[in-house]
Structure 1
Amino acid sequence: MEKKIKPCIDNEQILKQRFLALRDTLDLLSGKWRFCILLNLHYHQKLRFKDFFEVSEGISPKVLTSELATLEAHQLIQKKVEYTPTKDITYYVLTTHAQEIWTVLNTLIEFGLSNRQEVIRSFHSDKN
């Protein structure tokens, strides 16, 4: 007889919804550039296309175009145009919706810093 694993949540529908939501979020934020783009926009508040190359060393124009389009389609960033007498300036900003991600990003950063120190500490104690 096959033994069924019982989840810690009684309502399996809620568990499935939460699993799907997590998978969707990981799919959306996967890749090495999306977090960087969101983090840079958080710290710089607005960036022009060419500015991303200064703050995200190594990204290609093709990849940046694709990643910006994806983040824009998911309403995490918004393209804005500033009209001036001499030329129009296009830049990107985080949407209000994207502000919710900051808690997640900050938690991941804090974990990364803590984990890095733990691994270094463990590595040094193993050598002694």
Structure 2
Amino acid sequence: MPILNIQIMQGHSAAQKTNLLKNSSQAVVDSIAAPLPSVRVVLEEVASDHVIVAGELAKPMALVLARLIEGRTPEKKAALIAALSQAIHKSIDISEQDVRVIITDIPKTDMGVANGITALAAGR
């Protein structure tokens, strides 16, 4: 059950944000073969005066915090990072140089899934 929190600066259009949500969801499906019904994405917008990148205030950026059930290979994780970076660039025209993706592996015993059971109990 991939769960993504994507932080971007305020000021993007509704269409851009919709594209970002759809493209990032599809990036997860395509890169790590997660089933679409299991993908969750939350978009968070940050005021530009609350962002500094490489010493530059209000520089466009994106930060993705991706939580995954443990067990994916380094190659799958690298594919996810690349796919998310491309999806963000394509959706809201931020340079891929200013996109960061942080992956956290969650033990199967520590991830709750449908019907309030652990991923381990669900056989994931």
TM-score range with shorter-chain normalisation? under 0.3
Higher relative contact order (CA 8 A, sep 6+): 2
Q: What is the TM-score normalised by the length of structure 1?
A: 0.27
More helix by share: 1
Q: What is the TM-score normalised by the length of structure 2?
A: 0.28
